[in-house]
Amino acid sequence: MGLMLMLVLGAILTARDSVNCASQTQFLNELLDTYDVNESPHLREGRPTIINVQMFINSFGSLNAANMDFSIDVFLRQSWHDPRLVWPSVRERVAITSPEMLAKLWKPDTYFSNLKDGEIHQVPTPNVLFRIYKTGDVLYSMRTTLSLSCHMEFEEYPLDSQVCGVHVTSYANTDDLVKYQWLQDRPIDLPESLEIAQFDLLGVATSNTTYAYATGNFSGLLVYFNLRRQNGYHVLQTYVPTILIVSISWVSFWLDPNAVPGRITLGVTTLLTLTTLASGIRASLPPVSYVKAIDVWIGSCMIMVFSALVEFTIVNWLFNKKVIHRRQTFFKIPKSPSQPPDDAQASGDQVLTYAHQAQLIDRWSRLIFPAVFFIFNLAYWLCYLAAYM
């Protein structure tokens, strides 16, 4: 008995759903009986249809410096008024999900002029909402992932700020048929937990514009994201290692001037390490022709390391240079760096040993090189951080 009752109730519910479905389909077919999908809602009135646009930024992908683009996951919401879709107050609103029925309704041909790649989400069903209200107001919403081009400037990289935007316009309808405007209340909606890899979002600016092409004038919208790069990653991955590499090159100043293998190995190894590090940094950036902040840093570090190698060459040459005699020539080669020639000892003239001078250069280098690098750091960070802040 209970089983039969459940079967009867299921049949009644199924029949009611079928009636409602048929009723809604019939209602829409009657509403769209004289509807022209190729005609804009206010064409007969001689004025453009106003499209109110709002974006909800679901997630913000990282900026790709090498390709000069960025990606966003966005809910694009468009609303407008269509007087042909006004009906008596039988039902408040109708949501249309059928692709066949959607094809019979007019929709703005909105596209993104700086789009590189994009897709509308289809899992588990197409993420598209088309809702009609009894007053003739229409809400058209979709979830899409966009890869958009962004012209970036890298003069101050990695202490830089970038401005990337989204350009919205119509592909075929000129501004006398369709006119876009941002929704007055929160045109760009951002979640509180929005995070962007390696960047901080400083602000969002929206504006209206008009694109003038050979095919006509088209109404458009602009939204710009002001982004500032977080420098923690580059401090740990670039600046700190290069500072340590330059500091290691100074160890050679405490080694014996005749320790050729040790000092040469130390200088060449640090120079090659810097070169490898610079190659990795360049691989993540486009081949721009101007000098970047990271180029100034890496180049200066290379000069410091190379200067330490040149300093050793001079010190080693002086340390092994023979003693001079004033009454002959300015430079004279003695038997050893520490032993004066016999004629100098016999005459009682003062002997200048280049070993002492070489050691003196090493002592001064222990102070001069760190001092120069400190002054460079001070000037570098004051210059670029002033623009960064």
pLDDT, tens digit, for every residue of 286-300?
888 899 999 999 999
* Domain contains 330: no
Of 93-107, 161-175, 203-217, minimum mean pLDDT range: 93-107
Query: Residue 307: how many CB atoms within 10 A of its CB?
Result: 16
Task: Give the end of a domain, one of 183, 200, 230.
Answer: 230
Q: Tell me the C-alpha distance between 149 and 118, whole Å.
A: 12
pLDDT at position 101, please? 86
Pairing of strands 137-149, 115-120: antiparallel
For residue range 10-26, what is the model confidence (pLDDT) as tens digits? 444 344 444 344 567 77
* Domain contains 204: yes
Q: In terms of residue numbers, what domain contains 141?
A: 17-230
Q: Tell me the C-alpha distance between 187 and 312, whole Å.
A: 64
Task: Give the end of a domain, one of 201, 230, 259.
Answer: 230
pLDDT above 60: residue 140:
yes
pLDDT at position 301, please? 94
- Verify that 54 and 195 share a domain, yes or no: yes
- Verify that 288 and 170 share a domain, yes or no: no
- Verify that 174 and 45 share a domain, yes or no: yes
Q: What is the CATH number of the domain that holds 60?
A: 2.70.170.10
- Verify that 149 and 290 share a domain, yes or no: no
Task: Give the end of a domain, one of 165, 199, 230.
Answer: 230
Its pTM stands at 0.78
- Verify that 225 and 277 share a domain, yes or no: no
- Verify that 87 and 153 share a domain, yes or no: yes
pLDDT above 50: residue 347:
no
Please answer whether residues 385 and 377 qualify as being in contact, where contact means their C-beta atoms are separated by less than 8 angstroms. Answer: no
pLDDT above 70 covers a percentage of the chain that reads 84
CA-nearest of 233, 365, 379 to 300 is 379
Mean pLDDT over all residues of the chain? 84
Q: Tell me the C-alpha distance between 114 and 119, whole Å.
A: 14
Number of domains in the chain: 2
- Mean pLDDT, residues 342-350 taken together: 47
- Verify that 225 and 372 share a domain, yes or no: no
* Domain contains 119: yes
pLDDT above 60: residue 356:
yes
Residue 389 binned pLDDT confidence (cut-offs 50, 70, 90): low
- Verify that 186 and 38 share a domain, yes or no: yes
Of 20-24, 237-241, 293-297, 325-329, minimum mean pLDDT range: 325-329
Residue 353 binned pLDDT confidence (cut-offs 50, 70, 90): low
Please answer whether residues 319 and 304 qualify as being in contact, where contact means their C-beta atoms are separated by less than 8 angstroms. Answer: no
pLDDT at position 51, please? 96
